[in-house]
Amino acid sequence: MSSQADTKWKGYAIRDTKHWDSFEVIDFNPKQFEDYDIDIKIEYCGVCGSDVHTITGGWGEPMLPLITGHEIVGHVVRVGPKVTAFKVGDRAGVGAQVCSCLKCKPCTTDNEQYCPNAVSTYNAKYPNGDIAHGGYSTAVRAHERFVFPLPKELPLEEIAPMLCAGITVYSPLIRNGAGPGKCIGVVGIGGLGHYALQFARALGAEQVVAFSHSSGKEKDARELGATDVVITSNKNFAEPWKGKLDLIICTADVSQGIPLSDFITTLGVHGRFIMVAIPDDQLPTLRSTQMVSNGALLGGSHIGSKKEVIEMLDLAVKENVKSYIEVLPMKDAGKAVRGVKDNTVRYRHVLKVDI
């Protein structure tokens, strides 16, 4: 692929949310090239649960045609005149965000993922109206602040899912005190959850409890660092864990079906329940007594900052965090998104660019 801005870029798009697993190659124009922009020729892109929410219209009608994908890795093919940290030929990656205002309080305190003017990697518009397209494609363009340097020790395809799934669990783990002596729960062992178990262990947690509604993941969960595995479809699953956990990271992609009040009973005094999953519908209602009795804190978390991505990749190398991936050619994007929707992928599909 040429690196010139006026070249047509190509991606696998869906045209209709009713046919959300039907991808077709289209040409698209990237955003206007600016001084701090970097173009990356994509080699692999992971398939996130959020891609599925977007293509199915679960979060609302997306902009169509739509090219999803925000776990992007490849090599730099063009840098703007003011880019300092990358040069052509470098390995580089992009996660779920490609721009922000860079001036507000979140942006100047390493919280750029919470910028009110953040631009997501796909299904998003830049302030000038240019559309951001995702990584099921040949190339991506992003401001250098949102481009990550990648460690040489890890293969590109194994880094890809860390750039959304990995960072989305790493950030709330470190911001909520995961570490030695702590008992950490992870709800939902999927793309995000399989990293949460490993990062909780890598951060030195004493106990890591996997909560899964599936019965077939126990062996994997233990291999990933769980000291205990709890099957949440068993009634009274929470009983033995009452008051024991310091922190729960919830990645379970389900709304009304989540036994939220049971999870809250498993928290110790001022234990925290952090929601990272973004199911299509509302969560179950709670009575305040359910939080008051143990002083529980309920919160949420959105991806992570660039600073945290760099720390996370460093820890992944040092502590041998593994990506359990199934690589498919990008033309099989439909099969990959079905695998996420049907909860059959173990634990992340990564698409290899084939256009």
Ligand X SMILES: NC(=O)c1ccc[n+]([C@@H]2O[C@H](COP(=O)([O-])OP(=O)(O)OC[C@H]3O[C@@H](n4cnc5c(N)ncnc54)[C@H](OP(=O)(O)O)[C@@H]3O)[C@@H](O)[C@H]2O)c1
Q: Please give the residue ranges that form the binding site for ligand X (CB under 6 A).
A: 48-50, 53, 164-165, 168, 188-193, 212-214, 217, 251-254, 257, 276-279, 301-303, 340, 343
What's at 142, amino acid-wise?
A
Q: Which does 101 bind (CB under 5 to 8 A by kind): Zn ion, ligand X, none?
A: Zn ion
Return the range that interacts with Zn ion (CB under 5 A); candidates 109-117, 218-226, 270-278, 336-344.
Answer: 109-117
- Shortest distance in whole angstroms from residue 190 CB to ligand X: 2
Three-state SS for 160? helix
Q: Are 162 and 316 in contact (CB under 8 A)?
A: yes
Q: Which of residues 47-76 bind Zn ion (CB under 5 A)?
A: 48, 50
Q: Which does 277 bind (CB under 5 to 8 A by kind): ligand X, Zn ion, none?
A: ligand X
Q: Which does 100 bind (CB under 5 to 8 A by kind): ligand X, Zn ion, none?
A: Zn ion
By C-alpha distance, which of 278, 280, 259, 11 is closest to 168? 278
Q: Which does 133 bind (CB under 5 to 8 A by kind): Zn ion, ligand X, none?
A: none
Q: Is residue 115 a contact point for Zn ion (CB under 5 A)?
A: yes
Which residues have CB under 8 Å from 32's CB, separation 6+?
5, 128, 130
What's at 111, amino acid-wise?
N
CA-based max dimension of the chain: 61
Closest to ligand X by CB, 130 vs 280, is 280
d(CA 179, CA 160): 25
Q: Which does 214 bind (CB under 5 to 8 A by kind): ligand X, Zn ion, none?
A: ligand X
Question: How many residues of this chain bind Zn ion (CB under 5 A)?
Answer: 8
Q: Is residue 107 a contact point for Zn ion (CB under 5 A)?
A: yes
Site string for Zn ion, 148-187 (x = CB under 5 A): ----------------x-----------------------
- Shortest distance in whole angstroms from residue 164 CB to ligand X: 5
Closest to Zn ion by CB, 104 vs 327, is 104
Q: Are β-strands 37-46 and 72-79 bridged in parallel, bridged antiparallel, or unpaired? A: antiparallel
Closest to Zn ion by CB, 48 vs 250, is 48
* H/E run at residue 158: helix 156-159
Burial category of 322 from C-beta neighbours within 10 Å (exposed 0-12, middle 13-18, buried 19 and up): middle
Q: Which does 217 bind (CB under 5 to 8 A by kind): Zn ion, ligand X, none?
A: ligand X
Interhelix angle for 191-202 vs 306-318, to 10°? 70
What's at 184, amino acid-wise?
I
Closest to ligand X by CB, 67 vs 277, is 277
- Shortest distance in whole angstroms from residue 105 CB to Zn ion: 8
Q: Are 213 and 259 in contact (CB under 8 A)?
A: no
Three-state SS for 99? strand
Chain contacts with Zn ion (rule: CB under 5 A):
48, 50, 100-101, 104, 107, 115, 164
